[in-house]
C-alpha cells in the first residue's frame, strides 16, 4: 500500500523531496525505467532468452513509476529495515530488498539525465577545470558517516575511526558557494585522513587548483606545500602551548581572516547537511551489497543538487 501524503511537510519527511518537485523527478524516473526495460528486452531477445515484450506478464505491487519512485525515496529518506519497508508497502521483505537494488540504478540514471549527479572522478586537469570553470570558489571538506560493525577482524580495524570511536566511512566533498555538490570522492575507511583522501583523488604532482580559489579547513594541513596554486586558503592554526607561550592565541588579524574564511566555508557544511537529509547516510549503514555505501552517497548528493535547480 503506497502511503498517501497529507501535505508538503509529510512529503518532505517521508521522501526528502518537496511536493512541487516530485513530478519532474517522476518523469525522469519513468523515462529511465522505460529505457531499462527496452534494454533488458533487446538483450534477452538477442540471446534468444526472451519472447515476451516489455510490459507483459504479471504486474507487481509497484506497477507505476510513481509507486516505484515513492518506494525508493521512502527507503533512502527513512532507511527502515526491509521487514518494515515490506510491511509498509505490502510486499515480502525479500521482495523489498530485490526492488531496492533493482530501482537504485534507475534513479541514478534519472538523476544523470537531469544533469544533477556530482562528478566522481577526474582523469585530467583539463577535465576538472572544464567541470568547474563556472565556479568562483571551490569548498573542499570531508564527511564521515557511521557503518555497521563488520564481523571480520581485518575489516573492523580498517573501518574503525579513532576520532569518532566507532566504525565509519568517509568521502571527500567539493561544493560551490551556491551549495551545489560538484564532486563526491570515493568511499574510504573511517581511519583515513582527510588530506590523504584528497591526495589520492587529486595527485599533488598535477596543478589541479592553480587557477581557482580553493577553501579548506584545518584538516588539510600541508595543502599549501603539496599543491600548486596561489589562491588556496586554509585557516590559521593556533600555536602550540609551551613553557615560553603558556596561553597561545591568534592575533586579531588572524582571527578576522579565519572568520572571513568561515563565512564562505559554511556553504560546504550546508551542502553536506543537505545530502544527509537522507537517513541512509545518518544511521549506521547495514547493507552488504558491494559498493552500495558508495553508490548511495552519490545518489543522495544528486538528489540534493536536484532540489537546488
Task: Indicate whether 32 pLDDT > 90.
Answer: yes
For 85-103, how does the pLDDT look when each residue is reduced to its tens digit (9 = 90+)?
A: 999 999 999 999 999 999 9
Q: What is the band of 3 on the pLDDT scale with cuts at 50, 70, 90? A: confident
* Number of domains present in the structure of the chain: 2
Instruction: Pick the last residue of a domain from 83, 113, 143.
Output: 113
Residue 172 host element (H or E) = strand 166-175
**Tell me, what's the pLDDT at 117?**
96
Distance CA 67, CA 103 (A): 11
User: How many angstroms separate the Cα of 235 from the Cα of each of 42, 104, 141, 195, 251?
Assistant: 56, 39, 13, 15, 13
pTM of the full predicted structure? Answer: 0.91
| Same domain membership, residue 83 and residue 31 | yes
Report if residue 309 sits inside a domain: no
Question: Which whole number is the average pLDDT over 66-83?
Answer: 96
- Compute the distance between CA of residue 167 and CA of residue 189 in angstroms, rounded to an integer: 8
Angle between helices 22-46 and 93-113 (to 10 degrees): 100
| Res. 121: pLDDT tops 80 | yes
If pLDDT is split at 50, 70 and 90, which confidence band does 16 have?
very high
Q: How far apart are CA 71 and CA 269, in angstroms?
A: 29
Name the helix (H) or strand (E) containing 261. Answer: helix 252-275
- Under 8 Å CB-to-CB from 176, ≥6 apart: which residues? 132, 135, 136, 137, 138, 139, 182, 267
- Rounded CA-CA distance 221/199 in Å is 12
231's grid cell = 589562491
Do 71 and 89 touch, CB atoms closer than 8 A? yes
Give domain status of residue 220, yes or no: yes
Helix (H) or strand (E) holding 166: strand 166-175
For the chain, the first-to-last Cα distance in angstroms comes to 31
Same-domain check for residues 210 and 277: yes
Averaged confidence pLDDT in the chain? 91
154-180 tens-digit pLDDT: 888 888 888 888 999 999 999 999 999
Q: Once rounded to an integer, what is the mean pLDDT over residues 32-47?
A: 82
| 286 shares its domain with 163 | yes
Q: How confident is the model at residue 193 (pLDDT cuts 50, 70, 90)?
A: very high
**pLDDT tens, 239-251?**
888 777 788 888 8
Burial class (CB in 10 A: 0-12, 13-18, 19+), 224: middle
- pLDDT band at 57, cuts 50/70/90? low
Q: Report DSSP state, residue 100.
A: H
Q: H or E segment at 268?
A: helix 252-275
Per DSSP bridges, beta strands 160-161 and 166-175 are antiparallel
Q: Give tens-digit pLDDT for 273-301.
A: 999 999 999 999 999 898 999 999 999 99
Do 58 and 152 reside in the same domain of the chain?
no
C-alpha closest to that of 231 among 244, 213, 256, 255 = 213
Residue 305 lies in a domain: no
Q: Which tops the pLDDT comparison, 29 or 37?
A: 29
Mean pLDDT of 142-151: 93
Q: Is residue 307 assigned to a domain?
A: no
Give the model's pLDDT for residue 54.
Answer: 66
Residue 214 lies in domain: 125-291
Q: What is the pLDDT of residue 161?
A: 87
Residue 193 included in any domain: yes
| Pair (140, 243) in one structural domain | yes
Amino acid at each position: 500500500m503506497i502511503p498517501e501524503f497529507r501535505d508538503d511537510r509529510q512529503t518532505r519527511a517521508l521522501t526528502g523531496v518537496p511536493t512541487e518537485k516530485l513530478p519532474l523527478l517522476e518523469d525522469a524516473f519513468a523515462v529511465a525505467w522505460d529505457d531499462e526495460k527496452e534494454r533488458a528486452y533487446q538483450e534477452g531477445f538477442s540471446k534468444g532468452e526472451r519472447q515476451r515484450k516489455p510490459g507483459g506478464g504479471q504486474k507487481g505491487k509497484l506497477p507505476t513509476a510513481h509507486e516505484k519512485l515513492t518506494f525508493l525515496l521512502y527507503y533512502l529518506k527513512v532507511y527502515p529495515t526491509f521487514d518494515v519497508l515490506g510491511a509498509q508497502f505490502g510486499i515480502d521483505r525479500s521482495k523489498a530488498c530485490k526492488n531496492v537494488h533493482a530501482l537504485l540504478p534507475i534513479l541514478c540514471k534519472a538523476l544523470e539525465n537531469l544533469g544533477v549527479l556530482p562528478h566522481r572522478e577526474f582523469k585530467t586537469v583539463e577535465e576538472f577545470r572544464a567541470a568547474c570553470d563556472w565556479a568562483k570558489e571551490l569548498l573542499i571538506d570531508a564527511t564521515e558517516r557511521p557503518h555497521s560493525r563488520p564481523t571480520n577482524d581485518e575489516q573492523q580495524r580498517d573501518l574503525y575511526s579513532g576520532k569518532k570511536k566507532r566504525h565509519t566511512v568517509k568521502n571527500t566533498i567539493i561544493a560551490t558557494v551556491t551549495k551545489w555538490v560538484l564532486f563526491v570522492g570515493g568511499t574510504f575507511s573511517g581511519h583515513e585522513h582527510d588530506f590523504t583522501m584528497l591526495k589520492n583523488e587529486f595527485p599533488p604532482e598535477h596543478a589541479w587548483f592553480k587557477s581557482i580559489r580553493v577553501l579548506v579547513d584545518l584538516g588539510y594541513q600541508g595543502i599549501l606545500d603539496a599543491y600548486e596554486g596561489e589562491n588556496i586558503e586554509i585557516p590559521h592554526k593556533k600555536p602550540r602551548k609551551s613553557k615560553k607561550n603558556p596561553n597561545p592565541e591568534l592575533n586579531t588579524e588572524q582571527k578576522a581572516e579565519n572568520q572571513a574564511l568561515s563565512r564562505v566555508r559554511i556553504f560546504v557544511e550546508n551542502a553536506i547537511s543537505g545530502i544527509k537529509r537522507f537517513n541512509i547516510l545518518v544511521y549506521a549503514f547495514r547493507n552488504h551489497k558491494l559498493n552500495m555505501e558508495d553508490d548511495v552517497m552519490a545518489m543522495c548528493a544528486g538528489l540534493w543538487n536536484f532540489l537546488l535547480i
